[in-house]
Amino acid sequence: MSSYTRGPATSLDRYLNGEVLPEDIDDFVDIWHKNPANNEIYQFLGMTREEYSLWLRDPDTLPLIARARRAGLPLKSVLRATLEELPVVSRPANAVKVKRLMRWLEESSRIP
């Protein structure tokens, strides 16, 4: 179980354990919307606010969130390293995604 949660396994815990696929997280979002209880959606999913913010920007970043969690590294450093490792040749094909993620890094750096 993730150190970020207490109680039953969250969707992120289940993803980290290989029990659900990335697209299954949407089912958990639907469950939360039906009964939001007393916690924020990012807490319900088992994410930090930062992880949820990135995931909202680009759901394909879930493996990066998992990598940061497993390695105990800051999410921003994992994202920066991933963007730097992206081959220059593939960057034009991923230009929109790279721009979106770079914007998230810039915006999240301004948030205390």
**Which residue type does 14 have?**
R
Contacts within 8 Å (CB) and 24+ apart, 41-48: 43/5, 44/10, 44/11, 45/10, 45/11, 45/12, 46/2, 46/4, 46/5, 46/9, 46/10, 46/11, 46/12, 46/13, 47/4, 47/12, 48/4, 48/75
pTM of the model: 0.76
> Are 105 and 57 contacting, i.e. CB atoms less than 8 angstroms apart?
no
Same domain, 106 and 53: yes
Rounded CA-CA distance 45/78 in Å is 20
Same domain, 34 and 86: no
**Domain region containing 91:** 48-112
Phi, psi of 96 (to 5 degrees): -65, -45
- The pLDDT profile of the chain, 112 residues, written as one tens digit per residue, is 333 444 578 999 999 999 999 999 999 999 999 987 788 999 999 999 999 999 998 898 999 999 999 999 999 999 988 887 766 555 566 777 777 888 888 888 754 4
Rounded CA-CA distance 22/78 in Å is 18
Number of domains in the chain: 2
Same domain, 56 and 41: no
